[in-house]
Structure 1
């Protein structure tokens, strides 16, 4: 087959021919054709890697995405030979390799097709740039839906779409803009109740087509590198997500304050303005934990410096903010100003740490400081040097760092030219291969520096660009969005997509970065943001001098905004527990309904509804003036948060949406832990842990994870894992609690608030002993009971 190139020349597409020989080496299988080698590596019963050497020579087996903890653990596997194929089998799947052309068919143990090649692997020479373009084309199964691929600003189901991974500074992007900032080459397929994933570990520009060109075929390809992908079988989508995290790594627990509310602007300047913002939060009683300093805090935008005019005494400023409960997060970009008198620039050049063009000249380009040079973060020596630069910032009191412009972005060029050279941990490659991991490695070096210099406190990093595996050290946000209702919708979809793509610790610029939202839009965005793992307002400077803080839109909106930020803080134990699930297992924090009810076809194309954690369902208000909204509830019973009205699932229900509310539901049977009201994490000792318990028939399970909220003692057992089991039925409420751990929490009591109890209790037993219920508890719609922290069982009849 011949394909026209942009120059009008033709390049032949090459396909594997007949298998001539094969061999097995441990858990590796090799199949040899006249020119191509296929390597199949069985990592576990449900994870298999496929790697092709197009011309019989494998490239270096190296990846920036893989977790150092990835271990091979297949239980039972082997190979069988058939007339037309080879069959590699595990306890969960069968992998058939066609003798004629290496095409792959993967089935479950009952023979149901999970994933199947169409033309399969093929390639062509990249005549213009060198190397090869490698392809893999697969059949789309009947009714198949596709999800994942990071921050794509389009419908959650990617069926019918073509998208691209090439980190891009997409200022003011719109729906369907592509590519964007992040490069996550991982997607899910779902058909006939079967879920699987494919992680294409290739850092070149990669493209994915899910039936856009041909409705019955999906393809993924890269303009360089190898065809190297991991197949992950679920069949549950959430299990696929957890297996992907096994490959690329799980997050570490952040400091608890990082799950609070963050306030940012381009730019709070000078230091007196920063103090004013902090004072306003405390005087108004609006919770907030983090204040950000954008590029104007620097001396002429030179990274790791302070403006002598605007921030003459940063150490005192940051201490005063800390004394008032605020953590300070500062921006650091990759561009280092070309200035012979600037020590960091001197080191960068003298040590040979700067990126260079093919002819040896420095890679220079204009960014905020003017002409800049750029560190080569693919060099481990440069990463170590960069990490060391954070010592002074942390000594001043900086608690978090915000990496921006790291696609990398260059004003007049867009990004680096392709001839820029990179070390790539000893390989010496062009920017074509390094582009999609540049920001990934910058944030890795930043996190390493903060972790070292903040020890024993936990670091907080937020990055704009990322590759698979960035979740191991950083959070992300959705980039330079706009103050429109469309972008509020996009914020929900993008954060859901990022979550199932391994990057749960994500949020959007609440209110929009570009433009000025109305009070209604800002309030609705705050309501959504309260249920995103990262909750940050951020906005750009503008000629009107408009600032975007919770009080900027008048008392009516401020009251609602304050109430939702307060709700966020009350839910911190639940959110922190959900983060623990993510950190321990890789379970996405935000779960689209297709991921929790994949057997229900009604959920496959839903964009608005998602679960935060196991039990709280959100459907944000997405249009101006919306007075009611239809919300689809998955199977089960659900309580409307604001009035405890109970709804049966597997149907759409219509919910009123006054400004003070948004559709929030809690799953029947759930135990939702809550803190008392606070204005910042650590403001005061938590004297009582509140347990919001929602009556549900049958057996349901909930958990509470707790530790000190900072430091690393949890890694040596200083944590508690509290498991709840509700086993209730008509006329009986029973809640059991099991406690494991060695963390000594401040509180000594639980206050149970039991919602939806369908009977008036006449007796209460706590750990087998009669417990008197106060009269007011018996009369209230929500039954409240105070119990010691060490209770094990409560029964109401």
Structure 2
């Protein structure tokens, strides 16, 4: 080939190559491009680019919403977000190169060439920035936003995700799935919460992507350049949250997506379950044995075998001939009944639920308007469309049948949707609140909306009494309606520890009421594993023992006398801690802070808490730190974060910022109390239906930090607290003034405790205690002083050390302010 011809060929080839590159950039992958128009209207900025439309809204001083789509933005709608933008002071300016938005908390710079976002602190530190050259872009209908991955960045949260606490180096998919006996690294599993928290350089931020299509999050998986989040359809829609403290990020996220209501008090007690208890005589046997063996309990749960051939809203008349009699007898024993409910309605002529559903036209449909049919436990089924008001209202009328016979709790299962084959067609159409959406868009919210329908229907049916609602599947915002448990786990040590991390991650993601199947659902635990799991269960929000079909019995008495004694000791402790636990749930209703708290919440920038060695440690409320170990461990290393810590069992003082090797036994779960903690406790009861004695014991642990605890009571069963019928007082520990202050009580309800006994841990012999009140009528009784006491359970392993001195003061529970000085 001659040189001119070769040169012409080379130029032609290069031109084709460049054209192909341009095609890759603008065709197969399409970015937003440069900004062409900006409109500023109050707290909102509307932006047009070469290839997209964007809308930036200041929701609050700490929350900014970003919406981007290839087409003009559709009408705003969300199943998750219930908050509206707050009136916020925001300074918004633009020039030829950028748009700047500044609030009292952060600054956002949107570059125009090309469109990209960078979030800063007010003093100019980068909190989060779009990855240069990538930003937000589309591959076909999938949209992704790419963020520059900061040095040493940790990623936590994302709801019910397996694996390590720190998500760095991994990718995740959100597509709610029925995953029986899932692996400890399996993804996805049952629920979707597309919210995570990034931590780097003493900064922390949250990102919530509100998009219900299948979504993907990448925290440096298969790349060393970016973190990213995106969805297989719909718009890019995310909320950026910045606060100096991680707890405030959770508070802002739950301000967006809502917070739980107070749960019924009984639901915080021990729950006994298996797949399945039947007939009713077996249920009575379980209930009677719990009472005979003095195992405190509040609930028994029935799995699918209570139904007539697995048909929802029916009873097997041979196994359960008189459901109302069953619930009444259980109530007399201080026990509530919870029933499993599945969404599938069997397609059977003569089955009233099916015929009523057809009559009211409430089932999800194919695109040709015929009802979708999938196979589940009863056989071929139709499925109510909970994404529309009509379907939810129909469910309300059906679920009332259970309330009418005295059932107290509803357990929503199989609501991913789960069907045999696990492959619902894409062309199934859902109402989606009147907008009509395919299965691709509606799948991830189906479980949320079923839980919503159950909650709303049952709340209405119970006439002002609080229902207990449990779900397996859900989406962001599920905490408004339901508790969640982590599905069909295995009776294995690594699953027990994974369960702890799942509860911690759900807590980071705005869900306080969480639990796992204690003892494992599949397989048979060893005695040691069962014992350890029951101990951990006592420090879980939802404490349910559950095992599957074709497994050995898993009640506390089924593993021998020693296991029974240890399990009973920790259940006893759980019941004595109910005032502390109930008050912790009240805190969750106010600010979204979870009951199970990853150490990342209060010790965010301590690098050691992200280590796989210590990632299973967690706080239970704001006072206890739990250190779980496997059933085979005889020694283990505990990391103590900053501050001083007390051993729960003997008050031994341990200084923080150190690792400490400890002996581990199956008789005792390592539990520690944070300095300056305030722990209210009551006398032991066998169920929450039983009244404790008239004395509330408040344990106070001497420390160097100020602390406060909001003690809370209400009637435990109604919504009257929403109208002021509660009893609340702040108990404050002031380390500088050396005072413990019981603030004036709030609310119209009188406390059920006539006396308050204050037990002071870690105080020296020469600490002289004085009591001052603003009420001349307050009676004070110093019943014991510097007396060896059993701080917690007088049985078994939960004892104070012999000779251990705890100062004890008993005083009348005045509603006025009371001050203890030392």
Q: TM-score range by the shorter chain?
A: over 0.9
SS for the counterpart of 2:182 is coil
C-alpha displacement of 1:387:
1.1
Q: Could you tell me which of 84, 95, 115 is aligned with 1:102?
A: 115
Once the two structures are superposed, residues 433-470 of structure 1 have per-residue CA deviations (whole angstroms, 9 ceiling, x without a partner) of 00001111111001111000012210110000000011
Once the two structures are superposed, residues 405-436 of structure 1 have per-residue CA deviations (whole angstroms, 9 ceiling, x without a partner) of 0000001x204211111111111221000000
Structure 1: where are the runs of 5+ without partners?
127-131
**Whole-angstrom CA distance in 1 between matches of 2:818 and 2:303:** 51
**Whole-angstrom CA distance in 2 between matches of 1:458 and 1:210:** 40
**1:750-761 alignment, distance < 5 Å:** 750-761=756-767
CA 1:749/1:63 → structure 2, altered by over 3 Å: closer, same or farther?
same
Look up the match of 2:158: 149
SS for the counterpart of 1:740 is coil
Once the two structures are superposed, residues 560-612 of structure 1 have per-residue CA deviations (whole angstroms, 9 ceiling, x without a partner) of 00011111111111111111111111112222112101232222334111111
Q: Could you tell me which of 469, 484, 488 is aligned with 1:480?
A: 488
Q: Could you tell me which of 32, 42, 63 is aligned with 1:16?
A: 32
Look up the match of 1:742: 748
CA 1:765/1:778 → structure 2, altered by over 3 Å: closer, same or farther?
farther
Q: Could you tell me which of 63, 74, 99 is aligned with 2:78?
A: 63
Confirm or deny that 1:535 pairs with 2:543. Answer: yes
CA 1:311/1:49 → structure 2, altered by over 3 Å: closer, same or farther?
same
More displaced, 688-697 or 263-272? 688-697
C-alpha displacement of 1:291:
0.4
Equivalent residues of 1:777, 1:785 under 8 A apart:
no
Once the two structures are superposed, residues 267-286 of structure 1 have per-residue CA deviations (whole angstroms, 9 ceiling, x without a partner) of 00100000000000000110
Confirm or deny that 1:681 pairs with 2:688. Answer: yes
SS for the counterpart of 2:453 is helix
Q: Could you tell me which of 707, 718, 725 is aligned with 1:711?
A: 718
CA 1:753/1:357 → structure 2, altered by over 3 Å: closer, same or farther?
same
More displaced, 593-602 or 79-88? 79-88
CA 1:733/1:62 → structure 2, altered by over 3 Å: closer, same or farther?
closer
Look up the match of 1:129: none
CA 1:772/1:278 → structure 2, altered by over 3 Å: closer, same or farther?
closer
Superposed CA RMSD in Å reads: 2.1
Equivalent residues of 1:761, 1:796 under 8 A apart:
no
**1:166-205 alignment, distance < 5 Å:** 166-205=175-214
**Whole-angstrom CA distance in 2 between matches of 1:166 and 1:478:** 15
**Whole-angstrom CA distance in 1 between matches of 2:768 and 2:505:** 48
**1:337-356 alignment, distance < 5 Å:** 337-356=346-365
**Whole-angstrom CA distance in 2 between matches of 1:417 and 1:615:** 48
Confirm or deny that 1:315 pairs with 2:324. Answer: yes
Q: Could you tell me which of 715, 721, 730 is aligned with 1:723?
A: 730
**Whole-angstrom CA distance in 1 between matches of 2:386 and 2:788:** 64
SS for the counterpart of 2:181 is coil
More displaced, 778-787 or 205-214? 778-787
Confirm or deny that 1:563 pairs with 2:576. Answer: no
Equivalent residues of 1:405, 1:464 under 8 A apart:
yes
Look up the match of 2:398: 389
Equivalent residues of 1:407, 1:415 under 8 A apart:
no
SS for the counterpart of 1:452 is helix
C-alpha displacement of 1:757:
1.2
**Whole-angstrom CA distance in 1 between matches of 2:768 and 2:107:** 58
Look up the match of 1:117: 130
**Whole-angstrom CA distance in 1 between matches of 2:743 and 2:28:** 65
CA 1:415/1:750 → structure 2, altered by over 3 Å: closer, same or farther?
farther
Look up the match of 1:272: 281
SS for the counterpart of 1:20 is strand
Look up the match of 2:97: 84
CA 1:460/1:110 → structure 2, altered by over 3 Å: closer, same or farther?
same
C-alpha displacement of 1:686:
4.0
More displaced, 717-726 or 520-529? 717-726
**Whole-angstrom CA distance in 2 between matches of 1:480 and 1:239:** 33
SS for the counterpart of 2:554 is coil
Look up the match of 1:49: 65
**1:287-326 alignment, distance < 5 Å:** 287-326=296-335
C-alpha displacement of 1:530:
1.1
More displaced, 646-655 or 508-517? 646-655
**1:642-721 alignment, distance < 5 Å:** 642-721=649-728
Q: Could you tell me which of 242, 252, 263 is aligned with 1:243?
A: 252
Larger radius of gyration: 2
CA 1:734/1:329 → structure 2, altered by over 3 Å: closer, same or farther?
closer
Equivalent residues of 1:642, 1:661 under 8 A apart:
no
Q: Could you tell me which of 414, 427, 436 is aligned with 2:422?
A: 414
Look up the match of 1:286: 295
**Whole-angstrom CA distance in 1 between matches of 2:595 and 2:739:** 29
Confirm or deny that 1:552 pairs with 2:567. Answer: no
Once the two structures are superposed, residues 493-524 of structure 1 have per-residue CA deviations (whole angstroms, 9 ceiling, x without a partner) of 00000111111211000000000101111111
CA 1:176/1:745 → structure 2, altered by over 3 Å: closer, same or farther?
same
CA 1:776/1:60 → structure 2, altered by over 3 Å: closer, same or farther?
closer
Look up the match of 2:215: 206
Q: Could you tell me which of 29, 35, 41 is aligned with 2:51?
A: 35
Q: Could you tell me which of 767, 770, 783 is aligned with 2:807?
A: 783
CA 1:695/1:54 → structure 2, altered by over 3 Å: closer, same or farther?
same
Equivalent residues of 2:782, 2:810 under 8 A apart:
no
More displaced, 767-776 or 226-235? 767-776
Structure 2: where are the runs of 5+ without partners?
1-16, 790-804
**Whole-angstrom CA distance in 1 between matches of 2:736 and 2:662:** 28
**1:210-225 alignment, distance < 5 Å:** 210-225=219-234
SS for the counterpart of 1:652 is strand
Equivalent residues of 1:166, 1:179 under 8 A apart:
yes
Once the two structures are superposed, residues 592-651 of structure 1 have per-residue CA deviations (whole angstroms, 9 ceiling, x without a partner) of 112101232222334111111111111112x23322321111111111101100111111
Equivalent residues of 2:781, 2:809 under 8 A apart:
no
Look up the match of 2:3: none
C-alpha displacement of 1:350:
2.4
CA 1:94/1:271 → structure 2, altered by over 3 Å: closer, same or farther?
same
C-alpha displacement of 1:260:
0.8
User: TM-score of the superposition, structure 2-length normalised?
Assistant: 0.92
SS for the counterpart of 2:130 is strand
CA 1:191/1:483 → structure 2, altered by over 3 Å: closer, same or farther?
same
**Whole-angstrom CA distance in 2 between matches of 1:162 and 1:106:** 23
Look up the match of 1:463: 471
Equivalent residues of 2:785, 2:809 under 8 A apart:
no
Once the two structures are superposed, residues 687-716 of structure 1 have per-residue CA deviations (whole angstroms, 9 ceiling, x without a partner) of 111111112235322221111111011111
C-alpha displacement of 1:778:
4.9
Look up the match of 1:228: 237
**1:324-339 alignment, distance < 5 Å:** 324-339=333-348
Look up the match of 1:453: 461
SS for the counterpart of 1:43 is strand
Equivalent residues of 2:780, 2:812 under 8 A apart:
no
Equivalent residues of 2:646, 2:653 under 8 A apart:
yes
Report how many residues are paired. Answer: 779
SS for the counterpart of 2:35 is coil
Once the two structures are superposed, residues 668-688 of structure 1 have per-residue CA deviations (whole angstroms, 9 ceiling, x without a partner) of 111100111011002125411
CA 1:565/1:601 → structure 2, altered by over 3 Å: closer, same or farther?
same
User: TM-score of the superposition, structure 1-length normalised?
Assistant: 0.95
